[in-house]
Amino acid sequence: MLLVSYISENKLEVIQGLQKRYIENAEEIVEEILTMDAERRQSQKDRDDALAEANKSAKEIGMLMKSGQKEEAEKAKASASENKQKAKELSAKVTEIEEELQNKLYHIPNIPHPSVPMGKSDEENEVMYEKGEKPQLADGSKPHWDLIEQYDIIDFELGNKVSGAGFPFYKGKGARMQRALVSFFLDEAVAAGYLEIQPPIVINEASGYGTGQLPDKEGQMYFMEADKLYMIPTAEVPITNMYRGDLLQENELPKKMAGHTPCFRREAGSWGAHVRGLNRLHQFDKVEIVEIQKPSESANAHERMVKHVEMLLEKLGLPYRRLLLCSGDLSVNANLCFDLEVYSGAQERWLEVSSISNFGNYQANRLKLRYRDNHKKTQLLHTLNGSALALPRVLAAILENNQTEKGILVPKVLQKYTGFDIID
């Protein structure tokens, strides 16, 4: 959530930033916010003035009564009562304006970083570089949805029977591969200085608003009406909300956390080869890394997080590429985001496996997450997060790229976790 003070002090920059996101009425939105804020501040001043007058009259009553000026004392009583009522009405008006202003701010996205290219869709994301060699598969190589059936390691039909589409069963070596990937990702995160967290997989409404899933992504989350709880779309949400409302000290920073959770998303996209098999699910496992940083360190932290995820892909032997997301593909919360995609040999296409985002102070403002620096000044922190990694498409690429006539070769870094080196 943008700070009103930032909007006021950087009006043109905010308007241009929103226009970069293809928001046509950006100027109107900004003017409305500033008008409401001016009305709020004026109402607060009028309320404070009325309270001051009421207090002044209240102090005069006793003195007037003692001096025998009963008529004047009654006038002072009436004035005090009138101003108290006026202050009460103004307080209600201030609360109403603040709630309306807050709601409008919730719907304004973050301002893109200057390096973010213009673009309306993912087709206009900028490919920064590619690394690794694409696999040279033999004729007749199969996509992963055929491989998992051939080796009986993942069962979509059984998942559909028990739960519905997009909720597969992992079996035997398929389940072991899942566990191996999670352990590998977590061990690498811990080695990189992240604190391992096992968070809840349900959140309350305050947490959803804190990290920006509400009101923006309400339709994409599973909601339990009886308990007013949401199934998490990513571990970012509960982990970042650990610090909601906190005032940290500078010597406590940075906060670096990593957590493995199942993730739940109602939106599963359109049907077809691009979302077939493991390419898009309603439930999937993911290891998430989260950092809470001082503003001066967030850009460096962002780059380190991207390099950490790239290192995981390199150790798995997967060819990948790094993308800079364009303005139209940027999430509501992010001001800068890099995607990492792996090459899927049998599908002959790139699959997104990680998004690493810097939110600046946008999330922290919603979370009221601040720190006190060494000069005793209090300011908002910066929050960052990234998939490290989401399992389904990583597993899909491993299965497709490593298929041989004898079976599917397991990457060496996973073999100590799986206990086998081939799926046959």
Domain ranges of the chain: 4-106, 122-423
Known binding residues for ATP: 265-267, 352-355
Q: Buried b vs exposed e over 262-292: b needs ≥16 C-beta within 10 Å?
A: ebbbeeeeeeeeeeebbbbbbbbbbbbbbbb
| Predicted pLDDT at 272 | 55
Cβ–Cβ < 8 Å for 280, 268: yes
Dihedral of CA atoms 38, 44, 46, 49 in degrees, nearest 10, equals -140
| Predicted pLDDT at 75 | 80
For residue 110, what pLDDT band results from cuts at 50, 70 and 90?
very high
For residue 270, what pLDDT band results from cuts at 50, 70 and 90?
very low
pLDDT tens digit string along 223-269? 999 999 999 999 999 999 999 999 999 999 999 999 999 999 996 45
- In this predicted structure, the answer to whether residue 216 has a pLDDT above a threshold of 90 is no
Known binding residues: 234, 265-267, 288, 352-355, 385
Which position has the higher pLDDT, 71 or 16? 16
Known binding residues for L-serine: 234, 265, 288, 385
**Fold designation for 122-423:** BirA Bifunctional Protein; domain 2 (3.30.930)
Residue with tokens 């390419």: 279
User: 4-106 sits in which CATH class?
Assistant: mainly alpha
- In this predicted structure, the answer to whether residue 59 has a pLDDT above a threshold of 80 is no
Instruction: Tell me 250's DSSP state.
Output: G
Percent of the chain with pLDDT over 90: 88
Domain 122-423 in the same topology as domain 4-106: no
Please write down the HEC assignment for all residues of 293-361: ECHHHHHHHHHHHHHHHHHHHHHHCCCEEEEECCHHHCCCCCCEEEEEEEEECCCCEEEEEEEEEECCC
pLDDT tens digit string along 130-184? 999 999 999 999 999 999 999 999 999 999 999 999 999 999 999 999 999 999 9
pLDDT tens digit string along 351-404? 999 999 999 999 999 999 999 998 999 999 999 999 999 999 999 999 999 999
